[in-house]
Amino acid sequence: MMTKLGVIGCGGMGRHHAKIVHDMDDVQLVGVADTIESKVAALANELGVAAYTDFHDLLPLVDGVMVCTPPFARTDVVLDCADGGKHVFAEKPIALSLEEADRMLEATDRAGVIMMMGYVLRFTHPFQVLYELFAAGELGRLVNCWTRRYMPFDTSKIWYGDQAKSGGVALDFASHDIDWVRWVGGDIQRVFGRVDRVRPGIRADEHVHALFTFAEGIGSIDDSWVPGLGHSSIGLVGSAGSAIVSEDGTIRKRLGDGEETVITPEPSEAIQTHFVRCIRDGLTPKVTGYDARAVLAIVLAIQESSRTGEAILLQTATQ
């Protein structure tokens, strides 16, 4: 059965998803949409599909859409797609406010359509491997899980550098890491964090560090756009062993006093393939709009903690 998809928003992520969907078996990329005519025309011509400057014209032709507009231009798009009965994959973050997130979730629930989010670490090694090791019980109960990702990135002249449009590094970038530690540890109970703006004149947070408590164990994230060295560190410590990712990407595991081993992961399901499978088989996505709402609530709690200097108690916001 052929699944028909459209891509709305032809920026970096829209181009990325459109190219992958275009090459998938049993999937037809019907068209791409963007309000900037030159941008949508270029991508449509490259892929040999139809171009639309009004995404509403694309909706009657597809089963689902991949919404890749920026978060400040996303809510109304998702609402109209849901009202049209179309399954929705939306890029992260879900929104800039909980009110906007709730409007989208209410609309997709009411329409009975999928609301899947683009938190790709759940589909990416080594993050998926570490989760699977822990979920299988190999590492015992959770003691600590963490990520640190430093990616120097000058946001000063683009919308990412406007806190009101991007939510800063915590929402745009670190929300990936927050989703992962929450996937591992479950609902986060308390948050203590700090955001910072380092470069003179910068208008968005560009460094975030946060500590989380779960029902059992702790987690942390440390993410940065500030100038300097790139760096990453990912790991999980359990009561029965640990798994840590080296700088070169090697996944190392040791259980108790046993020998250290290196894990070579099998290829995993791509996030686009998963969206299509959820449409075809009526599945709940691995990462839902409710997961993304929970991540947004955690980011807002980090920002509040940074302002107040206090740990913030969270209410569970998932379904």
- Cβ atoms of 214 and 127 within 8 Å: the answer is no
Structure tokens at 56: 């509403």
Type of residue at 193: G
Per-residue pLDDT at 195 exceeds 60:
yes
Is the pTM higher than 0.85?
yes
- Cβ atoms of 46 and 38 within 8 Å: the answer is no
CA 252 to chain centre: 25
Mean pLDDT of 287-296: 98
User: Between the CA of residue 139 and those of 130, 239, 242, 283, 303, what are the distances in Å?
Assistant: 10, 6, 6, 29, 32
Same fold, 3-119 and 121-265+288-313: no
Measured from the Cβ of residue 282, the count of other Cβ atoms closer than 10 Å reads: 8
Per-residue pLDDT at 317 exceeds 70:
no
Q: What is the CATH number of domain 3-119?
A: 3.40.50.720
Tens digit of each residue's pLDDT (9 = 90 or more) over 258-279: 999 999 998 899 999 999 999 9
Q: Considering only CA atoms, which of 106, 110, 85 is closest in space to residue 95?
A: 106
Residue 299: what pLDDT?
Answer: 98
Per-residue pLDDT at 318 exceeds 50:
no
Tens digit of each residue's pLDDT (9 = 90 or more) over 234-243: 999 999 999 9
Per-residue pLDDT at 124 exceeds 50:
yes
Q: What is the CATH number of domain 121-265+288-313?
A: 3.30.360.10
Q: What percent of the chain has pLDDT over 90?
A: 95
What are the extents of the domains in the chain? Answer: 3-119, 121-265+288-313
Average per-residue pLDDT in the chain? 96
